C-alpha cells in the first residue's frame, strides 16, 4: 500500500478541489482505519511543504486544493 501522503496527492490530482469529508471518504476506500485526525495531520504536513492549501469554509468544514504549481514539483514522498 502506498503511503497516505502519496494517496492524498494522487486523489487531489484527480479531483483538484475536495472538502475534507469528500477526501476522507475517498481515502477510506483504501485505508479503512483512517480517521479525520490522521488525515488532518497529513494535510498539515503537505500544507507546510506547499503541496496543498487548506481553507476553513464553515463549521468544521475544510476545502482542500492542490497548491498552484505543485503538480510539477510533486514526486513520490519517501518519508
Question: Which one-letter DSSP state was computed for residue 67?
Answer: P
Domains of the chain, earliest start first:
4-67 (1.10.10.10)
Q: Which three cell numbers stand for residue 9?
A: 496527492
Has this prediction a pTM greater than 0.75?
yes
How far, in Å, CA of 57 to CA of 21, rounded?
12
Digitized pLDDT (tens) for each residue of the chain, 79 residues in all: 899 999 999 999 999 899 999 999 999 999 999 999 999 999 999 999 999 999 999 888 999 999 976 554 445 454 4
- Conformational region of residue 31, where left means phi above 0, alpha means psi within -120 to 50, and beta covers everything else: beta
pLDDT at 75: 52
Q: Give yes or no for a contact between 13 and 65, defined as CB atoms under 8 angstroms apart.
A: no
Amino acid at each position: 500500500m502506498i503511503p497516505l501522503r502519496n494517496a492524498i496527492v494522487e486523489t487531489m490530482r484527480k479531483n483538484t478541489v475536495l472538502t475534507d469529508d469528500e477526501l476522507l471518504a475517498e481515502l477510506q476506500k483504501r485505508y479503512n482505519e483512517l480517521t479525520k485526525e490522521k488525515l488532518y495531520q497529513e494535510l498539515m504536513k503537505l500544507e507546510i511543504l506547499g503541496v496543498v492549501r487548506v481553507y476553513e469554509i464553515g463549521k468544521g468544514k475544510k476545502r482542500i486544493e492542490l497548491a498552484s504549481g505543485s503538480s510539477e514539483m510533486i514526486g513520490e514522498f519517501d518519508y
